[in-house]
Amino acid sequence: MKLWDKGISINEQIEKFTVGRDREMDLFLAGPDVMGTIAHCIMLGKVGLLSSNELHTLRIALSEIYREIGEGGFLIEEGIEDVHSQVEYNLTKRLGDIGKKVHSGRSRNDQVLVDLRLFTRDSLITLSQSVKKLFDVLQVQSETYKNVLLPGYTHLQIAMPSSFGLWFGAWAEALTDDMLVLQSAFNINNQNPLGSAAGYGSSFPIDRRLTTQLLGFDDLNYNVVYAQMSRGKVERIIAFALSNLAATLSRMANDLCLYMSQNFNFISLPTELTTGSSIMPHKKNPDIFELIRARCNRIQALPFEITMTMNNLPSGYFRDMQLIKESFLPVFDEMESILELATFMIKNVIVNESILDDPKYNNLFSVEAVNEAVLQGVPFRDAYKMLGQQIADGTFSPSKQLNHTHEGSIGNLCNEDIHRKFEAVYASFAATKFDEVKKALIEYPG
């Protein structure tokens, strides 16, 4: 079945190429497609294009199809082009001519747009919950190890004292900014394109504000041409937000790979969380961190892949956009897997609590000695030269007592303030609100 079928057969080779992986990819969109169809039908009923009995019958059938999707009983059959065709086919098979009425006032173009918006909204809410789990673990580890020092590096050279409290806490605050970017992308995504039809609106008296309210969107994409132009653009914006998060996770994983090496020996992992070598019996490899790094680096390529697909397309719809789904839809499961493993591994990291006992780290404390001399009245530049000479002569003998009290320093991590920032952003994803939207549409009493 094809929604555009006019009774003329299409070349089999052409059909196979144009359908591509749509039947596989569209399974991600099945639930959202039913939700969008319910809202559309309610609107059609309001404007007189469906009778109350027809709407009642359609809502019961659509709620049943939604339950089948949740139970894994929904398939896109061979010969049916996409999820939109399958949902309409299922309705028509059950209800006859009533099922043929649900497409009035819309196109596959705005159907897939609204499906993508609803799928992405749910996926970002779930993702925010996974980011929060990692954030919470990082904050716990920051507090647990706040008094354990480790070397800070610049240029991969020993620089100044740091701490595991600072290190774990740094990644927690990094996630806070990543969530701000995700929040912005979430808000752009949460606008209603339904009713733009093929990109030029409809002569039916549709009510786009009603579907906006029913589907829980914050606002409309008002201009119907822009609503269609947003296809690909919104996915690219979301991909950049995901890429930003992936960059944080990749860099953290790289630190962990370095810190596990014998040359650093800052952390270790329980043996059962490492892998071995086929010929070297001593090996305990941090493969999880390496794969997190590689997977995140691959995700960072996604916005550029979408950009190259969309580059130089004129306004209006083009089939090029179909290919974006193949990379975009699965990326959320990939991010979920990465976050789950990262959270688990961070929770099980074993910290070396005596790193700075090694005399090779003595020079870390040179800045502390310079500052102490300045506090005793020595001009800073003179103190700097004096300590530089002691280091050159091999006579520098540091005190390893630290007195860092300003906000965000070793002695004042400000984890509570970082937590406050994170929670303010996290609250904006409002999972409960959208659960209620879904429930109101799907749980129809009949």
Distances (CA, A) of 151 to 81, 232, 352: 59, 45, 12
Measured between its terminal Cα atoms, the distance across the chain in Å is 29
Neighbours of 209 (CB within 10 A): 14
Note whether 159 and 94 are within 8 A (CB): no
β-pairing verdict for 219-220 and 157-163: unpaired
Q: Tell me whether residue 202 is one of the annotated catalytic residues.
A: no
Of 184, 261, 277, 315, which is the active-site residue? 277
Of 155, 203, 354, 406, which is the active-site residue? 155
Q: Select from 125, 139, 130 the least CA-distant residue to 171.
A: 139
Note whether 389 and 382 are within 8 A (CB): no
Long-range CB contact pairs, 428-433, < 8 A, 24+: 428/183, 428/186, 429/124, 429/125, 429/128, 429/183, 429/186, 430/125, 431/125, 431/128, 431/129, 433/216
| Burial group, residue 314, by CB count within 10 angstroms (0-12, 13-18, 19+) | exposed
Please give the distance of CA 112 from its chain centroid, rounded to a whole number.
Answer: 20
Residue reference for tokens 């001399």: 373
CA–CA separation, 423 vs 168, rounded Å? 18
Note whether 378 and 386 are within 8 A (CB): yes
CA–CA separation, 412 vs 143, rounded Å? 11
DSSP 314: P
Tally of residues, the chain: 446
β-pairing verdict for 191-192 and 157-163: unpaired
| Burial group, residue 234, by CB count within 10 angstroms (0-12, 13-18, 19+) | buried
* 161 three-class SS: strand
Helices of type H across 261-378: 287-299, 302-310, 324-347, 366-375
Q: Tell me whether residue 155 is one of the annotated catalytic residues.
A: yes
CA–CA separation, 435 vs 275, rounded Å? 41
- Residues forming the active site: 155, 277
